[in-house]
Structure 1
Amino acid sequence: MKMKNAQVVIECLLEQGVDTVFGYPGGTILNIYDALYQYRDRINHILTAHEQGASHAADGYARATGKVGVCFATSGPGATNLTTGIATAYMDSSPVVFITCNVGESLIGKDSFQEVDITGITMPITKSNYLVRNPGELADIMREAFAVAAAGRPGPVLVDIPKNITTVEVDYTPLPKAEHIKHGRLKKLAERASHNVHKIDPDSEDVKKLLGMIAQAKKPMILAGGGIIRSQAEKELLTFAEKIDAPVAMTLMGLGAIPSDHPLSLGLIGMHGTLEANRASTACDLLIALGTRFSDRVAGHTSTFAKNAKIVQVDIDRAEIDKNVVTDYHLIGDACQVLAAVNEKLPQYSHGEWLTQVESMAGEPIPGRSDGKLEPRDIMREIHDRTKGEAIIVTDVGQHQMWAAQYYSYKRPCQLITSGGFGTMGFGLGAALGTKLGKPDATVVHITGDGSFRMNAGELATESFYGIPVITVLMNNGTLGMVRQWQSLMYGNRHSQTTLDRGPDFVKLAGAYGMDAYRVSTGKEFADAFDKAVSSGKSCLIECRIDIDEMVRPMVSAGSPITDFLLE
């Protein structure tokens, strides 16, 4: 059938089952927004306060649902405002398709109004990106973009469409999603990809090698990363861990890979990891890393990481193998498929003596405050108890992020949504809105700090207008807490430009958007306010006044061995 390419974009979204889009209109993308108007009863568009908010919302939606998120923006500053969100999604392997429009082809390269080479800018932070120059290829490019975003190791894809291309009338043939792989550009893409697929079966030499290494190990340990979450391998991981009777440490992106309260769980590893997780990584004789790239925040001084162990790395992305930590053996493949193949041949082991040794590595509990002030761990534990551990926690970046990781007991994957790789302050509110829209029946709690919250607080307008019931818990210590912590410990208490002794009044700010808001300074006040927020079923902000010198414990200095604790 004949239709303009602006309409083709919307039809392709419907082919993919898209029902929610986040974005912000502008001159070059007006034709697509005009087409979207005709589909307003089939696609829900969320107009955010800023393009960066839209990018984070689409990312949060993708992480919470497992679907591909979708974000629209116009050219120039509209497109460049997406770049932080694109990089955030890229570093954490989140599948989002970003659709931008550029100036018309006759204006490209002439420094035209709101012209920018967004494909060039985003090339290093996307799995793939496209500048559409052939009007007849748009539908196939859209289909390919979604396939690339979701396939293998997921990630963001950008499609940039010159405005004149959106006005061209083309022959569009609807194509069910199940047929995409057999058609056009995707058929060629699938054929190329098939040559690079490393299939794992229970009788393969790879599996036999790993089984042999497990059989020889006396002190095995598992390191679970975000790849377990992305491949939905939590059941296979739990079976694997219980069969080899090995403790499991998790990266920030891997939290929820096994329940935090499971006897084999060691919790978080790395710079702010538990003492037992970090110490066990040095004491183990076999470390099996699943879906993790050994980032600097996880491995610390890479030459000393797991120095007494043989290291096995399982990852779907060949580029991650031996990139940061040199391994003794590796398997290329989807974590779920690899673990399923290994579990099929794996006998039951018992490592009681090793598990007892690991248990003894834990430190003494950190004593509570004697002055009665509100403590971050008490806040997180109250949230956990009052939501029965079922809430989805979405964070910004800083001290509050680490407290959320340490003190909420995660039962399942995708219960913690946070910017791990890129460390994006301002990620949380937009991501929380996307999460709640993707998971409307879940209690979504946004954990933030006063520094992070200021960056995209304008998205309160989005939350209020659409009536998205997210509970924001703002830990206000009047400072850039994590940076201050580093200044206190490593820069002689020279707190240069980190004290935030200024507005706004966050309770009044939330009130200006018509939201309920509370300011609390004791545990009882917080519990009462949180109960009101949950029972109201409405948007709410709870400002928690905490001490300016609260610190995240444990802590390892950047680049140090992860057993050399600066704070225990």
Structure 2
Amino acid sequence: MSSASPRRGADVLVEALIANGVETLFGVPGDTGVVFYDALFHQRERIEHVLARDERHAAYMADAFARVTNRVGVVEVSSGGGTTYVVGGLGDAYASGIPVLLLTSDIHRSSRGTGALTEIDQVALFSAVTKWQVVVEKAADMPAAVAQALKEAVSGRPGPVALIVPEDVLEEITDAPVVTSVASLPGERVAAAAEEIARAAQFLQAARRPAIVAGGGVHASGAYAGLQQVAATLGAGVATSIHGQGSIATTDAWWLGIVGNNGGQPGTNRYVADADVVLLVGTRGNATNTNSWKAPARSGTTVIQIDIQEARAGRNFEGSVALAGDAKTVLDQLLRELRGVLDPDLEKRRAAVAEARADATPRTQSPEHAPGVIYPRTVIESIHEVLGDDVTVIGDPGTPTPNVAVFWPVTEAGRRTVIPRGHGPMGYAIPAAVGVAKALPGRPVVSVTADGSFAMACGELETAARFHLPILFVQLTNNSMGWIKMLQHLYSGGRYFGVDPGPVDAVMVARANGVDGVKVTSADELKAALVSFAGDPRPFYIDVDVPHMIDYAPPVPAWDKGLAGDTERPVY
């Protein structure tokens, strides 16, 4: 069929996705999208539809797909419950700057305002979790709308966009030709103002103790080489946010560790707090990432911030130097202005970085906290020991987040971990693992979840089984809403409320969904289960009891203070 022959709007929509390089989309069908699914049926050899069991989870799949490919992830839902469900799955992508295209069908145009079943103002609904929305009113407008949506998703600060199509427009006949657009990151290479580059370079060159904080924007820009070169030129330690983990190899001499209040390491936080000039690269620089505005502080430190969005560059640090532009481009601009630091100053700075890096969360003396209870760090390090570097690890909020961020090594710069820190949505890791497995076919994926998140997302285990994806699911179980219970322990006088659900046999549930699994009660059993997965990568579930945070706190600096008697809640 010629791309200019008469066909349905739904067919044009599918053709436009294919023409723009979309090979996979995630979704759940509904009444208003039936014609779209018929169009997918006719193109099923060219574009794969991954049926999720929940619209929120479909959005997480598209989100994770986008993170590990730097291409636009695509999620499709129908009007009514589908649209309201998917909102919860887009919040983290919006906050984290992840390009996702939301396709949603809507009620027939003639039913608008009649109180039709599933009627809702979708533009208003999505305005809080997408950066751009459009309603396609005519089938002839479909190709241009798809191209524009993809461009918007990757332009400026990346983020989700919404393409809304009434069901009768999906059926409308048109001969409009397909239009192509940019559908990968970075959408554009924007340079910062030359005068601001010169000013920033002067501050960095004159710094006695420079530091760099790298965030997720380094991954989106592919700015790894420039980041490492700036660090080596200045003799500056590089700390990363959780989103920025992997911006620099953890084996690099200038790597400092995780900064901030979630996973932040003592030496890393201190090094950044003591720096006289701090360069923020592709990070929001919010309260969590700066350890409640201490690393760096909002006063007394010269802050330079690279951000693709002009309104965000320098926003959180009054008087800072704002470098609005693409991270790779701006780092290259700085490199042209900077001179190398000479010995012995360079060696002194290298030694200071090594000293700070060594001041880290101490290793536990034993792999087991008590009979049948294994330390989370042991779990993470055991996974890496058996599976090595060639895996992607997804961590849920709660216990998995700081442990994956801190204890998973990255020997070559790149995104090897996926942790949702825009909003920290529970239930992310299981569906996100499906998205990663579809994005990186054949590559083993590790999904580190917890019992609370498992309860929210266990239906997607069937999706993993249906596609026979090489995903290892590892559940860290403490039989509570552990993070919140820890907050109640520290800041509410130990008055625990609403945080103790009943236990669930996760392995039994996994098996009911077609996923083999095992409950492990020792470090040796854990290693045996990991070896089994390594020998036969397949959907496989491991449930392991870990100590409650009250008994063994994860690397969260504010909690160390709380356990020492400081009951003032940290600023988030």
TM over 0.5: yes
How far, CA to CA, are the matches of 2:221 and 2:30 in structure 1? 37
How far, CA to CA, are the matches of 2:460 and 2:93 in structure 1? 19
2:448 maps to what in 1? 447
1:243 maps to what in 2? 233
* Structure 1: segments with no counterpart, 5+ residues: 181-192
2:490 maps to what in 1? 489
Checking the alignment, whether the CA contact within 8 Å between 2:213 and 2:240 is kept in structure 1 is yes
Q: Please give the secondary structure, in 1, of the residue aligned with 2:49.
A: strand
Matched, 1:291 2:282: yes
Deviation string for 1:525-557 (max 9, x for gaps)? 111101101211210000011123332124226
Amino acid at match of 1:279: R
Match of 1:120 among 120, 124, 139: 124
Give the Å deviation of 1:368.
2.9
Bigger drift between 296-305 and 473-482 goes to 296-305
Q: How does 1:105-254 map to 2 (within 5 A)?
A: 105-177=109-181, 199-200=191-192, 204-254=194-244
Q: How does 1:358-369 map to 2 (within 5 A)?
A: 358-361=353-356, 362=359, 365-369=362-366
Structure 1 pair 490/268, CA: closer, same or farther in 2 (3 Å)?
A: same
Amino acid at match of 1:462: T
Q: Please give the secondary structure, in 2, of the residue aligned with 1:446.
A: strand
Checking the alignment, whether the CA contact within 8 Å between 1:473 and 1:544 is kept in structure 2 is yes
1:422 maps to what in 2? 423
Checking the alignment, whether the CA contact within 8 Å between 1:153 and 1:316 is kept in structure 2 is yes
How far, CA to CA, are the matches of 1:175 and 1:483 in structure 2? 49
Match of 1:301 among 292, 302, 306: 292
How far, CA to CA, are the matches of 2:207 and 2:552 in structure 1? 41
Match of 1:15 among 12, 16, 19: 19
Match of 1:317 among 303, 309, 333: 309
Amino acid at match of 1:394: I
TM-score, normalising length: structure 2: 0.91
1:183 maps to what in 2? none
Give the Å deviation of 1:358.
4.9
How far, CA to CA, are the matches of 1:532 and 1:155 in structure 2? 39
Q: Please give the secondary structure, in 2, of the residue aligned with 1:159.
A: strand
Identity of aligned residues (%): 27
How far, CA to CA, are the matches of 2:66 and 2:361 in structure 1? 39
How far, CA to CA, are the matches of 1:87 and 1:81 in structure 2? 11
Checking the alignment, whether the CA contact within 8 Å between 1:450 and 1:475 is kept in structure 2 is yes
Structure 1 pair 131/559, CA: closer, same or farther in 2 (3 Å)?
A: farther
TM-score, normalising length: structure 1: 0.91
How far, CA to CA, are the matches of 2:92 and 2:362 in structure 1? 34
1:556 maps to what in 2? 558
Q: Please give the secondary structure, in 2, of the residue aligned with 1:87.
A: helix
Deviation string for 1:62-107 (max 9, x for gaps)? 1111111111111010111110111121111111111001101111
Checking the alignment, whether the CA contact within 8 Å between 1:384 and 1:390 is kept in structure 2 is no
Checking the alignment, whether the CA contact within 8 Å between 2:190 and 2:326 is kept in structure 1 is no
How far, CA to CA, are the matches of 1:242 and 1:258 in structure 2? 12
Checking the alignment, whether the CA contact within 8 Å between 1:392 and 1:444 is kept in structure 2 is yes
Give the Å deviation of 1:245.
0.8
Give the Å deviation of 1:458.
0.5
2:266 maps to what in 1? 275
CA-based RMSD of the aligned residues comes to 2.4
How far, CA to CA, are the matches of 2:280 and 2:361 in structure 1? 28
Amino acid at match of 1:73: V
How far, CA to CA, are the matches of 1:431 and 1:565 in structure 2? 35
Checking the alignment, whether the CA contact within 8 Å between 1:470 and 1:540 is kept in structure 2 is yes
Aligned residues: 546
Structure 1 pair 432/462, CA: closer, same or farther in 2 (3 Å)?
A: same
Checking the alignment, whether the CA contact within 8 Å between 1:256 and 1:414 is kept in structure 2 is yes
How far, CA to CA, are the matches of 1:105 and 1:149 in structure 2? 26
Checking the alignment, whether the CA contact within 8 Å between 2:446 and 2:473 is kept in structure 1 is yes
Amino acid at match of 2:475: L
Q: Please give the secondary structure, in 1, of the residue aligned with 2:256.
A: strand
Checking the alignment, whether the CA contact within 8 Å between 1:73 and 1:99 is kept in structure 2 is yes
Q: Please give the secondary structure, in 2, of the residue aligned with 1:459.
A: helix
Q: Please give the secondary structure, in 2, of the residue aligned with 1:160.
A: strand
1:329 maps to what in 2? 321
2:43 maps to what in 1? 39
2:515 maps to what in 1? 515
How far, CA to CA, are the matches of 1:557 and 1:543 in structure 2? 26
Deviation string for 1:191-237 (max 9, x for gaps)? xx99xx96348xx3232222211121100000101111110101110
